[in-house]
Amino acid sequence: MSKGLPIQAIDFTNSLGHIVKPGDKVIAISAGYNHSVKIREAEYIGCRVKNGKVQSVTVRSSFKNQRYNHDKGRYEQVEHLRLSTLPACRIYPLKVCENNA
């Protein structure tokens, strides 16, 4: 388990050979319950390394949601920031994806 390891802001090379630097925009792919797949745009923060091997990568993403404001009596748009640790290390640079489109 990689939770006890510190997050290191170092370059990461993914399974396709793309090099991702801290602060780069990436496409992060994560798996959830019942084999659901979540794909979102995020920013690469760093990775956890143990014995020279990357255990997981950490990304920061933002998403919008609606919340009911009881004082105003209506729904409002709220933006959330989420730090996600991805044990499968499936991140891909956004600039590579844009160049191929």
**pTM recorded for the entire structure:** 0.76
**What are residue 15's phi and psi, to 5 degrees?**
-65, -20
- Extents of the domains making up the chain: 12-100
Strands 74-86 and 53-69 turn out to be antiparallel
Q: What is the pLDDT of residues 2-18, one digit of tens each?
A: 457 888 999 999 999 99
* pLDDT tens for each residue of 66-95: 889 889 899 998 888 888 888 889 999 987
